[in-house]
Structure 1
Amino acid sequence: MPKAYVFTRYGGPETEELTEIERPVPGPGEILVAVRAAGVNPVDWKLRTGFRRPGDTGEPRFPQVLGSEAAGVVVAAGPDVTGFAAGDEVFGNTAAGAFAEYALLSAPVTAHKPAGLSFAAAATLPVAAATAYDGVRQLDLPAGATLLITGAGGGVGVAAVQIARALGLRVVGVASEAKQELVVSLGAEHVASGPGWAERVPGPVDGVYDLVGGEVLAEAAALLADRSKLITAGASPADAAALGGARVARARTAEVLDEVARLVVKGELDPLVTTVLPLERAGEALRTVEAGHARGKVVIEVAA
């Protein structure tokens, strides 16, 4: 039976294990892929602790395979799925976990992988890069405008800086001192996070893309003359609305995946894959992200 990295109950790392499971069978709206790479994201360990995504219903069934995004080769498609055939190279959001030799992808959020895009790079795009793209497009700032991004050194932030720069925006990135070099290398002006950070922002800003929430979100909102240009992926819709802003509206479409892949192939978006580990070391990959020590994207590679 194929291998998968799972968690067996809600809790900490002690609930995780590499095990064997039945090969998934694609249902309506699903595609079965032989996984070649899977991206690792903070949401993965948060789900293990019991976090429920908005709209999640029903009782959890264990074991649950970890991982939210993957790239691989189509093995089979569900009965109502069109546009995908066995042998196609694809990437997308999982209908069930990604840290496995075989995974189910959700067909509406699966795209064909361009030849110029590696499996490792493709596997990092459906969560962080797509969220970044949706937010920058939602703000709809004109070229030359200034966008402030809080949490600019994280996975979504790094992608958002590059996407905004590709659209001709001036970007001010708020991140730790340790990530100054990274933020500047992406084309943003760095502002050190921490007490008094808002006072260090150079000049007025036209939009805010918040990835932190809490007091940082409130301080960022105070920098805007037009609060309709405040969006967040780091706070709840209620918290955003209380400040006159909004939560990032996720498109969750294959078209967005096509667009971020195009940006990578054009050289305008670097997924910054810095760590690649085999499935047998999935726990180590997850610990790197959970500890907040990751610089760039962490990817789990699955042997063909």
Structure 2
Amino acid sequence: MAKAFGFVDYGGPETQEFLDRPVLDPGPGQLAVTVRAAGVNPVDWKIRRGYLGRERELPAVMGQEAAGVVQRVGPGVTGFTPGDEVFGLAAAGAFAEQTLLRAQLCALKPEAVGFDLAATLAVAVATADDALRQLALGAGRTLLILGIAGGVGGAAAQLARDQGQTVLGTASDANRSYVESLGATQVRYGEGVAERIAAAAPDGVDAILDLIGGDALREVAAVRTDRTELVSTADPATVAELGGRPVTRSTTSETLAALAALVAAGDLDPHVTRRYPFARTAEAIAAVESGHARGKVVIEVS
């Protein structure tokens, strides 16, 4: 048996608990791995609350991205062997001592990249990369990131900056220094944010990446009359209502490897700001569910 952390019913944190499950054998296209670290993302608690459907078999192990060591490879898998250090998207929940990764959405971990950093790449950093590929702005343009202080926002700011774009991002004043460290300009969110954005970017913004949704998105969307360059990871209904698009995931093993190479070279920092031992997984989820986590939160499993 292996320890895992998940939820036994849809709802709040009270439905979470540690679980015992059998050691999993990899199926076709899968890798069985010993988990060393797992990234925590807003999607984890949204799934638990049933916001993304209620069709999962319960109990369900939580977590979408992990880094670890290959135990066994499934039928049809090439390019990976037992003992390889890897990271990628989980096929059976990432908050566990042992799990399965999807080989086609997995990559070898560079030696220079720790398991904690690698565990942030498959969801948050790759989502940021997907969003920028979708927008395809190019150098000299201005990007506004709604909710820049989180894991996706921080990665998107760095990637856009290195593509020669000017980056603005909404965040609290407490995060001003952090946002500036990303090479971006902080704009305080809240009432009057559209006016503050206009003052910070008098020539306007060319595109908006939304990571919050709801009324915050509606107010910020007012800074652009052409909404074709508005994409959202957080609120597909509202972004469609406003004339924008949801972010389309297009990550591959090759793009994951390229992002890991940027981290290894020191050109991209996932900004892991909190690390929790496996025994404190509930605290790690709570930190992200609060909506105030800066950068990335990681669970160190072994």
TM-score range (shorter-chain normalised) is over 0.9
Unaligned runs of 5+ in 2: none
Q: Which moved more, 1:224-233 or 1:15-24?
A: 224-233
CA distance in 2, matches of 1:51, 1:216: 19
Report the equivalent of 2:18: 18
Q: Distance in 2 between matches of 1:160 and 1:7?
A: 31
Q: How big is the shift at 1:78? A: 1.3
Secondary structure, aligned partner of 2:175: helix
* Residue 9 (structure 1) aligned with residue 36 (structure 2): no
Give CA-to-partner distance per residue, 1:191-242, whole Å, 9 cap, x none: 1000010101122111111112223323333322542211111211x43233
Cα deviation digits, residues 33-71 of structure 1 (max 9, x gap): 110100111111111111226xx8xx4222211111000
Q: Which runs of 4+ in 1 moved over 4 A?
A: none
- C-alpha deviation, 1:268, in angstroms: 2.1
- Counting matched residue pairs gives 298
- Tell which deviates more after alignment, 62-71 or 258-267: 258-267
Point out the more displaced range, 43-52 or 103-112.
43-52
> Aligned partners of 2:264, 2:150: CA distance in 1, in Å?
22
Contact 2:45 2:285 in 1 (8 A): yes
In the alignment, structure 1 residue 100 sits paired with structure 2 residue 96: yes
User: Are the aligned partners of 2:151 and 2:271 in contact in 1 as well (CA < 8 Å)?
Assistant: no
For 2:161 and 2:60, locate their aligned partners in 1 and report how far apart those are by CA, in whole Å: 38
Question: SS at 2:148's partner residue?
Answer: coil
TM-score normalized by the length of structure 1: 0.93
Assess, with a 3 A threshold, how the Cα gap between structure 1 residues 244 and 12 changes in structure 2: closer, same or farther: closer
Instruction: Report matched runs for 1:145-294 at 5 Å.
Output: 145-201=141-197, 202=200, 203=202, 204-236=204-236, 238-294=237-293
Q: Read off the aligned partner of 2:51 and give its amino acid letter.
A: F
**Residues of 2 paired with 1:155 and 1:86: CA distance?**
30
Give CA deviations for 1:73-113 in whole Å, capped at 9, x if unaligned: 11111112111110111100111111111011111111111
Root-mean-square deviation over aligned CA pairs: 1.5
Partner AA of 1:146 in structure 2: T
Q: Secondary structure at the match of 1:215?
A: helix
Q: What is the alpha-carbon distance in structure 2 between the residues aligned to residue 295 and residue 217 of structure 1?
A: 20
Q: Distance in 1 between matches of 2:225 and 2:137?
A: 14
Distance 2:256 2:140 in 1: 25
Aligned partner of 2:117 among 111, 117, 121: 121
Shift of 1:292: 2.4
- State the identity %: 54
TM-score, length of structure 2 as denominator length: 0.94
> Distance between the aligned counterparts of 1:192 and 1:295, measured in 2?
15
